[in-house]
Amino acid sequence: MPSSKTGVLVIGSGAREHALAWKLQQSPSVDHVFIAPGNGSTDFDIPKSVDVNDASSIRSFCVARGISLVVVGPENPLCKGLVDEIEAGNADGKEILVFGPPKAGAQLEGSKKFSKQFMKEHGLPTADFEDFKSVNEAKAFIERVNWPSYVLKADGLAAGKGVIIVDGVAEAKNVAERMLGGEFGAASAEIVIEEKLEGYEVSALCFTDGKTISRMPFSQDHKPLLEGDRGPNTGGMGVIAPLVLPSNVEAEIDQILKNTIAALAKSNIPYKGCLYAGFMVTPKGCKLLEFNVRFGDPETEVIMPLLDSDLYTICAACCRGTLSSVQVNWKSENVVGIVLASEGYPVKPIVGRKVEGVPEHSSETVVFHAGTKRTEQGLVTSGGRVFCVVSIGNSFQEARSHALAVSEQVKFEGKYYRKDIGHFLFSRGNVSYSASGVDIAEGNALVASIKDVCLSTRTPGTDSIGGFGALVDLEKEGFKKPQLVIGMDGVGTKIAVAEATGLYDNLGYDLVGMCVNDVLCHCARPVAFLDYYVTGHLVKEEAASVIRSVAKACKESGCALVGGETAEMPGVYHKGQWDVAGCCIGAREKSWPMLPLTESVTPGDVLLALPSNGLHSNGFSLVRKIVSDNGVSYKDPAPWNPLVSIGEELLRPTKLYVKSVLGVLKSGKVKAIAHITGGGITENLPRVFPPHVAAEIECGSWSIPEVFDWLHSNGPVSPPEMLKTFNCGVGLILVVDPKNQESVTDSLLSNGESAIYKIGSCIKKTAKDEVVYKNLENTFKYRFVKSKAKKVNVGILISGAGSNMKKLIEKSLFPKSNCSVRVVISNKADAGGIAIARSYGIETVVVPSVGEREEYEAIMTKELEKRGIDLICLAGFMRILTASFVNRWEGRIINIHPSLLPSFKGAHAVQLALEAKVKIAGCTAHVVDVEVDSGAIIAQEAVPVYDNDTEETLHERIKVKEHAVFAEAMELMAQKLLEKSA
Ligand SMILES: *[C@@H]1O[C@H](CO)[C@@H](O)[C@H](O)[C@H]1NC(C)=O
Ligand SMILES: *[C@@H]1O[C@H](CO)[C@@H](O)[C@H](O)[C@H]1NC(C)=O
Ligand SMILES: *[C@@H]1O[C@H](CO)[C@@H](O)[C@H](O)[C@H]1NC(C)=O
């Protein structure tokens, strides 16, 4: 930290500049923040002597007032080269750092045409476009491309308003004529016409020094004037941050930002400051909509309160090219910004109205000034957007309610603001952000469109569809000596989830996915598909939506939908009950490898995993149980992706692998391929192994979609059970000789797969397990276990495999549990229970039981105290505890004993029960006191003894009861302890 403080000058007058100045003022290096030309806020000094259009007036003010940093807010001065002009004086004057790109870099925003061409030239993904000066050429282009919707942009700066979106050719031609005719003056003398992309918009802002980038949290603004996203577009009526995006989308955006900076450097375009990229997240990936060369407004107002680092240091590092050495941290809170607009905005805002009731800044809420001005009558409105009211909170709901309260409090005539900012985070209502949403039209039009979609799947060999059956001409399909591979499947109880959410759009796609992926495993190309749809009462829209998605998937996997059956069977199926099944006919050349080459699979072969797209079509019975046990609604936003509901996440369509995989199968470099469906890796992978081979899987070696983490922790479902029920992120596994690993991987990547994971290898089978999982604890993360309720901290002591411990942990993971298992202590370093505890994300400690009992017990007590343990469960802990330990934890240690106490205390309880020839044995959960097995009884359960019972069989049956009784006892004790402490 420099010992002498410095001043900062912010150029601009909006809420964005107010927010930047507000944040800069908090810097320990800054003693004075000026803003010019400024607005009606009294937070900062507004120097009258500074002419913001004149670099020399800015320089002399900076020199006079000890200012070392100028931050330029708006785009206009940047595009005119203000940064270059101020910096030009650095050569033989005082060094002044200027945050913002020079003129050459500012073209990215200054000229839409330059920016689009830059994107095209450097392979940055964006919509198709063309630019025009001539009305006739523009009209001819619009007719020729015949897109459903168009975006027309004025080439020059039009204060964020020179963009018009229209549907249809006629309207587009009309608007092109108006724009080129001078609607936006000189700015629209040239226009860019591009295709409108479908999806949702995201703003990504980053700090950059031209070499590295540091991305800020994502935000989303609300452009339409009216609630429910209706009405004309504005500069932004409100904004929320952070916006959590799916991790793959986030990674894609970061890569595009990096590529952009690299492209700028490669083109020798100097750039520093803030780069703002607007994206459309579409089903085909993220596409750039535009670049801005400065902070966004209103995005900045919600991003600055989240910044947990010193803005001055960051800005200075961007100017000096040292950004990579600065740590930029963000708070994990939620921010909502609401814009208070003037009457008449955005067309003709009425200004000059008196403002009252603006509160002081508080720790929750800051009111940033935008269009305000100080006059002799006090504060008045002077623009369309008057204030941005920004609140921070632990949840969006909390932040929004603060912001709404203050928005109400601020008074001026004609004030208007949207009360639904962030609405899509709270309720899904009518606004669908689903990127793959299909607009379902009515009745016959729909059926006709399905016919077209079906016809569009035809291939050369399936050209003549019709009649009673379908003809497939394999010769025309290009096969010389064809063999057929036929597979059939359904979508299981995924239907029930679709039913509960009303989202049928992807079920047909799933159906095809399940079948074609099966056929692919035998190195065959799907050629034809037939579907069967049955219902108690035919609802055209629902049936059509399913069939349409069957056709879509057929087309994507290159197979023809040659026929099908839609059956209405009232009485057999109830009204509203339905099912769907399908059959895929695949063909293969006799000379292609006949997969699986089971006999050739040997220890040492590597296992390559292809990512799945989510659950695909398996495990839905368990999914439904988890959803209902947790009281979750399918319409709730997914905790990991609030733009999408849990239902939509669960229903993500099955991934199709034909296009990316078939080629490498034909090459002969793959020995076998397993489609990971119901039964998970555990049951599907061994299907392609010879008897002497097993798989060793390294857990954590592949990326697991969040939905599985969520199911895991909300079930709770143990990792082994997860791997036996769901695909857990792995759609296909290829078995490959290590010498072919690289070329197979390269081929898959170049054919469109996004990632290939080496997840393990084949080993010689020694135990009965056909799949051996290593480091199970690395499989899942625990990001979705959260509860605010007060819980009793539980410590578990073990010595062995920990089967009782596992049940205690699982019980504690139920949302309604009053227990939180904080630590598992084992007296043996090799106890099997340690890995199990870790697989649930629970801390483990080994305290070897060597030396004096008092000594190691003292260590255990310390470990337990350190974690605030209130209750200790002995789960197969094989050591006697001293009286002093028991007294230290009096009434807080519980144990489970395999007899109906007070009968058969001590060791060998089961044996003693058998010898005594009792008819009823059982188990008892009790409080541990100084005497052996004599403390207060918490719960008991009886187990019948059979004539044919051995100690082993009886103990086995008792253990099953123990699991339930002990877990129940733990909860009972916890509830008592909570009541006592309350
Ligand atoms: C959705 O929009 C329709 C038509 O605009 C309206 O009738 C309906 O009430 C809206 N539903 C919700 C949940 O807002
Ligand atoms: C936790 O305690 C509350 C109130 O004390 C009780 O209603 C609830 O049933 C307890 N939970 C369990 C799983 O026993
Ligand atoms: C033992 O006896 C019980 C009850 O008579 C019977 O259900 C069970 O099948 C028997 N088990 C064996 C292994 O014979």
Summary mean pLDDT of the chain: 88
- β-pair partners for 565: 532
Closest ligand to C-alpha of residue 919 is 3
Using the mean position of ligand 1's atoms as its centre, give its distance from the Cα of residue 782 in Å.
38
- β-pair partners for 926: 895, 937
Q: Contact, 373 vs 412, CB < 8 A?
A: no
Q: Which residues line ligand 1 (CB under 6 A)?
A: 429-430
The CATH T-level fold of domain 339-387+399-427 is Glycinamide Ribonucleotide Synthetase; Chain A, domain 4 (3.90.600)
The CATH T-level fold of domain 598-778 is Phosphoribosyl-aminoimidazole Synthetase; Chain A, domain 2 (3.90.650)
Residue of 792, 818, 971, 979 with the most ligand 2 atoms within 8 Å of its CB, for mutation: 818
Question: Nearest residue CA, atom 11 of ligand 1?
Answer: 430
Ligand 3 atom closest to the CA of 948, numbered from 1: 1
Q: Contact, 19 vs 335, CB < 8 A?
A: no
Q: Which residues line ligand 3 (CB under 6 A)?
A: 946, 948
Beta carbons within 8 Å of 649's beta carbon, 6+ residues apart: 614, 638, 640, 641, 707
pLDDT at position 146: 87
Using the mean position of ligand 2's atoms as its centre, give its distance from the Cα of residue 802 in Å.
25
Task: At 705, list the tokens.
Answer: 């979609």
Question: Nearest residue CA, atom 11 of ligand 2?
Answer: 817
Shortest CA distance to 693 belongs to which of 674, 715, 707, 677? 674
The one-letter amino acid code at 390 reads V
pLDDT at position 815: 67
Kindly tell me if the per-residue pLDDT of 429 is higher than 70. Answer: no
Of 675, 897, 926, 955, the catalytic one is 897
Kindly tell me if the per-residue pLDDT of 548 is higher than 50. Answer: yes
β-strands 871-874, 792-798 pairing: parallel
Using the mean position of ligand 2's atoms as its centre, give its distance from the Cα of residue 836 in Å.
26
Cα 341 versus chain centre, distance: 33
Number of H helices, E strands in the chain: 30, 40
Q: What percent of the chain has pLDDT over 70?
A: 94
Report how far residue 385's alpha carbon sits from residue 24's, in angstroms, rounded to the nearest whole number. 23
Ligand 1 atom closest to the CA of 228, numbered from 1: 14
Q: Provide the residue ranges of all domains of the chain, joining segments of one domain with +.
A: 6-105, 110-301, 339-387+399-427, 435-589, 598-778, 792-980
Q: Contact, 233 vs 384, CB < 8 A?
A: no
Using the mean position of ligand 2's atoms as its centre, give its distance from the Cα of residue 976 in Å.
9
Using the mean position of ligand 2's atoms as its centre, give its distance from the Cα of residue 630 in Å.
15
Tens-digit pLDDT profile for residues 701-711: 998 898 999 99
Average pLDDT over residues 777-799: 77
Q: Before 596, cis peptide (omega within 30)? A: yes
Residue of 821, 975, 979 with the most ligand 2 atoms within 8 Å of its CB, for mutation: 975
Report how far residue 867's alpha carbon sits from residue 860's, in angstroms, rounded to the nearest whole number. 11
Using the mean position of ligand 1's atoms as its centre, give its distance from the Cα of residue 430 in Å.
6
Average pLDDT over residues 613-620: 94
Closest ligand to C-alpha of residue 945 is 3
Report how far residue 62's alpha carbon sits from residue 85's, in angstroms, rounded to the nearest whole number. 14
Half-sphere exposure of 160 (CA within 13 A, CB side): 15
Using the mean position of ligand 3's atoms as its centre, give its distance from the Cα of residue 947 in Å.
8
Using the mean position of ligand 2's atoms as its centre, give its distance from the Cα of residue 975 in Å.
6
pLDDT at position 539: 73
Ligand 2 atom closest to the CA of 811, numbered from 1: 13
Report how far residue 337's alpha carbon sits from residue 422's, in angstroms, rounded to the nearest whole number. 9
Ligand 2 atom closest to the CA of 979, numbered from 1: 5
The total number of residues shown for the chain amounts to 982
Residue of 813, 816, 981 with the most ligand 2 atoms within 8 Å of its CB, for mutation: 816
Ligand 3 atom closest to the CA of 949, numbered from 1: 1
Four-CA torsion 812, 813, 815, 817, nearest 10 degrees? 0
Q: How confident is the model at residue 718 (pLDDT cuts 50, 70, 90)?
A: confident
Closest ligand to C-alpha of residue 979 is 2
Beta carbons within 8 Å of 225's beta carbon, 6+ residues apart: 231, 232, 233, 234, 237, 341, 345, 346, 418
Q: Of the segments 95-109, 491-505, 639-653, which one has the largest average pLDDT value?
A: 95-109
Report how far residue 580's alpha carbon sits from residue 535's, in angstroms, rounded to the nearest whole number. 9
Q: Contact, 229 vs 251, CB < 8 A?
A: no
Burial-class residue 557 by CB neighbours within 10 Å (0-12, 13-18, 19+).
buried
Q: What percent of the chain has pLDDT over 90?
A: 63
CATH fourth-level superfamily of 792-980? Formyl transferase, N-terminal domain (3.40.50.170)
Instruction: Pick one of 3.40.50.970, 2.60.40.1080, 3.40.1280.10, 3.40.50.20 as the CATH number of 6-105.
Output: 3.40.50.20
Residue of 946, 949, 956, 957 with the most ligand 3 atoms within 8 Å of its CB, for mutation: 946
Closest ligand to C-alpha of residue 952 is 3
Question: Nearest residue CA, atom 4 of ligand 2?
Answer: 975
Shortest CA distance to 654 belongs to which of 784, 494, 782, 832? 494
Using the mean position of ligand 1's atoms as its centre, give its distance from the Cα of residue 227 in Å.
13
Residue 712 annotated in active site: no
Closest ligand to C-alpha of residue 420 is 1
DSSP letter for each residue of 717-763: --HHHHHHHS-TTEEEEEEE-GGGHHHHHHHHHHTT-S--EEEEEEE
Tens-digit pLDDT profile for residues 50-88: 999 999 999 999 999 999 999 999 999 999 999 999 999
Q: At 421, is the secondary structure helix, strand, or coil?
A: coil
Q: Contact, 709 vs 626, CB < 8 A?
A: no
| Equal CATH topology for 6-105 and 792-980 | yes
CA distances from 789 to 260, 630, 786, 818 (A): 46, 15, 9, 8
Q: Contact, 240 vs 422, CB < 8 A?
A: yes
Ligand 2 atom closest to the CA of 972, numbered from 1: 14
Q: Which residues line ligand 2 (CB under 6 A)?
A: 816-818, 971, 975, 978
Residue of 226, 426, 430, 439 with the most ligand 1 atoms within 8 Å of its CB, for mutation: 430
Tens-digit pLDDT profile for residues 233-253: 888 999 999 887 777 788 899
Radius of gyration of the chain (CA): 34
Question: Nearest residue CA, atom 1 of ligand 2?
Answer: 818
Using the mean position of ligand 2's atoms as its centre, give its distance from the Cα of residue 817 in Å.
7
Say if domain 435-589 classifies as CATH 3.30.1330.10.
Answer: yes
Q: How confident is the model at residue 450 (pLDDT cuts 50, 70, 90)?
A: low
Question: Nearest residue CA, atom 5 of ligand 2?
Answer: 975
Question: Nearest residue CA, atom 14 of ligand 3?
Answer: 948
Which carries the bigger pLDDT value, residue 876 or residue 247?
876
Report how far residue 736's alpha carbon sits from residue 744's, in angstroms, rounded to the nearest whole number. 8
Kindly tell me if the per-residue pLDDT of 161 is higher than 70. Answer: no
Using the mean position of ligand 3's atoms as its centre, give its distance from the Cα of residue 946 in Å.
7
Question: Nearest residue CA, atom 6 of ligand 2?
Answer: 975
**pTM for the complete prediction?**
0.46
Shortest CA distance to 489 belongs to which of 459, 511, 508? 511
Tens-digit pLDDT profile for residues 917-941: 999 999 999 999 988 888 899 999 9
pLDDT at position 431: 26
Report how far residue 785's alpha carbon sits from residue 818's, in angstroms, rounded to the nearest whole number. 14
Q: Contact, 587 vs 524, CB < 8 A?
A: yes
Say if domain 110-301 classifies as CATH 3.30.470.20.
Answer: yes
Tens-digit pLDDT profile for residues 497-545: 988 888 888 899 999 999 999 999 999 999 999 989 888 877 767 777 8
The DSSP 8-state label assigned to residue 181 in this structure reads T
Report how far residue 865's alpha carbon sits from residue 860's, in angstroms, rounded to the nearest whole number. 8
Question: Nearest residue CA, atom 9 of ligand 1?
Answer: 430
Backbone φ and ψ for 736, nearest 5 degrees, come out as -135, 140
Average pLDDT over residues 227-238: 82
Ligand 1 atom closest to the CA of 427, numbered from 1: 13
Shortest CA distance to 241 belongs to which of 78, 422, 410, 73? 422
Task: At 302, list the tokens.
Answer: 């919600």
Closest ligand to C-alpha of residue 950 is 3
Report how far residue 315's alpha carbon sits from residue 192's, in angstroms, rounded to the nearest whole number. 33
Shortest CA distance to 404 belongs to which of 431, 383, 376, 423? 423
